[in-house]
A = this chain, B = another copy of it.
């Protein structure tokens, strides 16, 4: 019907494979490194520290979030606000063993790199148990307060 039309030569479904550099670019755009610190009477220092790595996406691209989950081999895909879905990693072991080494080897190009460095610092502090002492909590709160500035979550 429309032979020789250049637009017919492109596949309508893009390849499923995610390149590591693609993941970095996508996270530079859509990712978030966050350290939540909330009062919690049952914790020894009175606070619960919850680091999380998230990527939010419109539900029409939820399959990309599932591919990210597969790529990192950890995390969950959950509903976010409204028509948004979210890929999320909260497990500290997974954050330290999978998310952290990946971005150490594949640096983000945006200012999110600074957030990642602080996020990584928080994970290392937690690995040393510093979140279980009042002094450690003070340091973690100071660190977390400087993250994700100039950008909505």
Contact = CB atoms under 8 A, between A and B. Distances in A.
Contact of A109 (B22, B109, B124): B22
A135 interface: no
Contacts of A58: 150-151
Interface in A69-83: 83
The SS class assigned to the A binding surface is helix
Contact of A15 (B18, B26, B64, B109): B109
Given A14-B110, A83-B150, 17 more contacts: A7-B117, A7-B124, A18-B109, A19-B24, A20-B21, A21-B21, A21-B22, A21-B25, A23-B25, A26-B26, A28-B29, A28-B64, A29-B30, A57-B110, A60-B111, A61-B111, A64-B110
